[in-house]
Homo-oligomer: A and B are copies of this chain.
């Protein structure tokens, strides 16, 4: 089966789907996006993703291309046409197609591209054994709360991770504090059993899986503290993990080549992952 993409109201074969060279997403990264997981024919946390999309649009003063109801209808159609039961749907919205010039064009019509593909969750073996992260200097812009396509620093960090045999790179700011991963949020469990993750701010993207795990932790009455933590704290932590739409709750067993805790998957992390999987009926 060949994939189908939605481009501004038209459905066409993915491999033929194109945007104008004057699309501001292409020329200026003047665009936002979302990736939503589909598990067993269900969208996971779609409303939270669409709330965040609305926020990104608002922060950049971009217009929504259509109502949420209409957007959901297009999403359903894209999923249907791609016959995706388990996978992801990708939405990218750019400000406009307009002759190249930095300021917002006078007439801006938000451009919508939507694709879907089948994919599995990250291998269960990774969740069983845990993954490695490396750290990289935080070099991104100061508005990481906006889910824009200005992802070049994230690309470079992920590539460094890949070349180091690691799953992810965690950014560390100039104060020695971990911000987040290149496409994931970062968490630790300290020696006292306290769960720690950075609170939403302009330094991180408020991950939807992050929000779900915060809720989960509160529901389970775990000792959750939202505060920045340092790389030193992360190295001394009992457990560490990361969260994202595609990785769910993924144990981290090594940071920059140093074992986290005993080097195995922590109890706390295992339990949280299990709860998350159960709550979303995610195939584990």
Q: Which residues of A contact B (CB under 8 A)?
A: 5, 7, 14-15, 17-31, 33, 60, 90, 92, 99-100, 102-104, 113, 115, 117, 137-143, 148-156, 158-159, 161-162, 182-183
Contacts and interface: CB of A to CB of B under 8 A. Distances in A.
B21 A5 contact: yes
Contacts of A162: 103-104
A159 B104 contact: yes
Contact of A30 (B104, B140, B155): B155
A7 to B, nearest CB: 7
A151 B149 CA distance: 10
A113 B21 CA distance: 8
A266 to B, nearest CB: 26
B139 A141 contact: yes
Contact of A26 (B23, B142, B156, B183): B23
Given A141-B140, A150-B150, A92 B27 contact: yes
A77 B19 CA distance: 24
21 contacts: A5-B21, A15-B20, A18-B21, A21-B113, A26-B26, A26-B149, A27-B149, A29-B151, A30-B155, A60-B156, A99-B117, A102-B151, A102-B158, A103-B161, A104-B155, A138-B142, A139-B143, A140-B142, A141-B152, A148-B152, A150-B152
A186 to B, nearest CB: 16
Given A100-B90, A150-B150, A153-B141, A21 B28 contact: no
Contact of A158 (B23, B103, B183): B103
A159 B102 contact: yes
Given A27-B92, A30-B151, 13 more contacts: A7-B21, A17-B20, A17-B21, A18-B18, A23-B26, A28-B149, A28-B152, A28-B154, A29-B151, A90-B100, A99-B117, A139-B142, A141-B152
Contacts of A27: 33, 92, 149, 151
A99 B92 CA distance: 14
A47 to B, nearest CB: 23
A103 B115 CA distance: 19
A170 to B, nearest CB: 14
Given A19-B21, A21-B5, A139-B141, A30 B152 contact: yes
Contacts of A22: 14
Contacts of A23: 26
Nearest to A139: B142
